[in-house]
Amino acid sequence: MRKWKSWKEHRSSILAVAVFTLLSVMLFISQNYGGEPEGTVSRQGEGEPTESRTFTYETADGESQQIDLEVHPVERENAEVQQLLEQAVEEWEAVFLGENKSENEITGNLVLENTFCDGLVQAVYESSDYTVIQDDGTVANEQVGEDGVIVTLQAEFSYADISRTEIRALQVMPPVQGSSQWLRQQVQKQSGKQEAKSRTKETFQLPQTAEGQKIYWKTKETSDWYLLLLLGGAAVVCLEWQKKDRIRRQAKHREACLNREYPQMVEQLSLLMGVGLTLRRTWERILEMDRKMQKKKGYVQRIYMKEMHRTYLDIRKGMGEREAYEQLARRIGLPSYRRLVSILNRNLEKGTRDVCEMLGEEAREAWEIRKNQARKAGEEAGMKLLFPMMLVFVLILVMLLFPAVQSFSL
């Protein structure tokens, strides 16, 4: 039974060790006893990039050397390559004209793809007039005359070191009347005329119509307002987060102070009730001593004293003592203060004798807890100082060793 319980406790660790051990053995077998014989190299698949690999060999006398070798992917036979290039040309001819009717009437952009045959064949293009046909297929025919212009397009298809070149003479014509390109050309001409006629003026008006069509001009849209809105939203989020963080830190600081002050409060209640004072009189006596201490220079009122004063005011206004003490516990919200309130309520029910003993025991435990907290805080402070000390040590070490290393180099 004990062995089974031990197995259950360490089951995850044992399974992890077993799995990684099995994987390591399988990898060792695969690398040392599996795959091709020694001296056999596996290539990448067709279409994959060339690899630069390093190989190690050993001579009969035991000397080891290394060589660097570029390993090309699997390639086809020459006849197969020619068929592949032919297929690539057929695919290109089926798509390169785009929406143009023929090679003798080019008015729109061409479709010039860079790969064919599932990426096995690469294509590169050259144009005899890049102002008309660019290498990406864009056709700029706004300035072309009515008779058109002939532009030679050269397409080179390559597979490995084998290539094939196709040349096409394309008749580029001006935009078709009524098309968007033609309308753009007309708007361009009219805008140029308006600009030329009004160069003596500070402003000029762009054309409102072109070839009978209404033209609506738009101002350039900016995203400044959008960025400003995002910046404002980010600022609001940061402010809200800062506010919540400040409240959280204040609550944490208040909680730490109350925990630190708790032993003193319990000890005061225990001492005064131990000499025979009632709970209410004890409460009043503690507040009287605090008022006298306020007259001294440098006095800082403790948080628990503020809460005791608020509780005393609630009692003076007619609230029952039991309810006032419970309100105190709810406001503070710490387990230690809830225990104290339960002891005080016990005093209201059964008298002072047992309560004094309970308060004394609570005070001793509270002081012990405070000692442990102080010890823990000291250890945490030491850990926080560890990194700066190590950094200073490294800097000092560098300052000492740098002159020595520099003298050796000289």
Segment 14-28 mean pLDDT:
65
> Which amino acid would we find at residue 376?
K
Residues 172 and 285 in one domain: no
Question: Which of 181, 200, 226 is where one domain is finished?
Answer: 181
* Helices vs. strands in the chain: H and E counts, helices first: 10, 8
- pLDDT exceeds 50 at position 4: no
Question: E strand or H helix at 224, and its extent?
Answer: helix 224-274
The tokens describing 186, both together, are: 């007309």
Segment 64-72 mean pLDDT:
77
Question: Which of 181, 201, 219 is where one domain is finished?
Answer: 181
- pLDDT exceeds 80 at position 8: no
Are 73 and 49 a contacting pair, CB within 8 Å? yes
> Which amino acid would we find at residue 400?
L
Which residue has better confidence, 224 or 257? 257
Are 123 and 92 a contacting pair, CB within 8 Å? yes
Q: What is the pLDDT of residues 110-131, one digit of tens each?
A: 888 998 988 888 899 988 888 8
Question: E strand or H helix at 163, and its extent?
Answer: strand 162-172
> Which amino acid would we find at residue 67?
I
Q: Is 166 exposed, middle or buried (0-12, 13-18, 19+ CB in 10 A)?
A: middle
Residue 91 pairs with which residues in a beta bridge?
Answer: none
Q: What is the DSSP letter of 106?
A: B
Are 106 and 100 a contacting pair, CB within 8 Å? yes
Segment 375-382 mean pLDDT:
72
Q: What is the pLDDT of residues 206-222, one digit of tens each?
A: 888 877 778 787 766 66
Sign, Cα dihedral of 110, 113, 114, 120: negative
pLDDT band at 134 (very low <50, low <70, confident <90, very high): confident
The tokens describing 386, both together, are: 């560890």
Determine the Cα–Cα distance for residues 293 and 287; give it in Å rounded to an integer.
Answer: 10
Q: Is residue 342 part of a domain?
A: yes
Q: Is residue 28 part of a domain?
A: no
Which residue has better confidence, 392 or 94? 94
The tokens describing 16, both together, are: 């992890």
Q: Is residue 49 part of a domain?
A: no
Determine the Cα–Cα distance for residues 46 and 30; give it in Å rounded to an integer.
Answer: 24
Determine the Cα–Cα distance for residues 121 and 241; give it in Å rounded to an integer.
Answer: 57
pTM for this one? Answer: 0.43
> Which amino acid would we find at residue 256?
A
Residues 168 and 260 in one domain: no
Question: E strand or H helix at 165, and its extent?
Answer: strand 162-172
Q: Is residue 268 part of a domain?
A: yes
Stretch among 75-79, 261-265, 329-333 having the lowest mean pLDDT: 75-79
- pLDDT exceeds 50 at position 306: yes
Residues 258 and 381 in one domain: yes
Structurally, the chain folds into a number of domains equal to: 2
Q: Is residue 59 part of a domain?
A: no
The range of the structural domain enclosing residue 325 comes to: 254-389
In order of 1, 258, 259, 332, the CA distances from 51 in angstroms are: 59, 69, 67, 70
Number of C-beta neighbours around residue 58 at 10 A: 9
- pLDDT exceeds 60 at position 409: no
pLDDT band at 156 (very low <50, low <70, confident <90, very high): very high
Q: What is the pLDDT of residues 237-287, one digit of tens each?
A: 888 888 888 889 988 888 888 888 888 888 888 888 878 788 888 888 888
The full DSSP string for 24-82 is HHHHHHHHHTSSSPTT--PPPPTTPPPEEEEEEEE-TTS-EEEEEEEEPPP---HHHHH
Determine the Cα–Cα distance for residues 173 and 149; give it in Å rounded to an integer.
Answer: 7
Residues 165 and 269 in one domain: no
Phi (first) and psi of residue 407, to 5 degrees: -65, -35
Q: Is residue 161 part of a domain?
A: yes
In order of 236, 281, 289, the CA distances from 294 in angstroms are: 41, 20, 9
Are 142 and 101 a contacting pair, CB within 8 Å? no
pLDDT for 315 equals 87
Q: Is 327 exposed, middle or buried (0-12, 13-18, 19+ CB in 10 A)?
A: middle
Sign, Cα dihedral of 126, 131, 132, 138: positive
Are 41 and 73 a contacting pair, CB within 8 Å? no
- Angle formed by the axes of helices 335-350 and 321-332, to 10°? 170
Q: Is residue 367 part of a domain?
A: yes
Residue 157 pairs with which residues in a beta bridge?
Answer: 123, 164
Question: Which of 158, 181, 204 is where one domain is finished?
Answer: 181
Q: Is residue 276 part of a domain?
A: yes
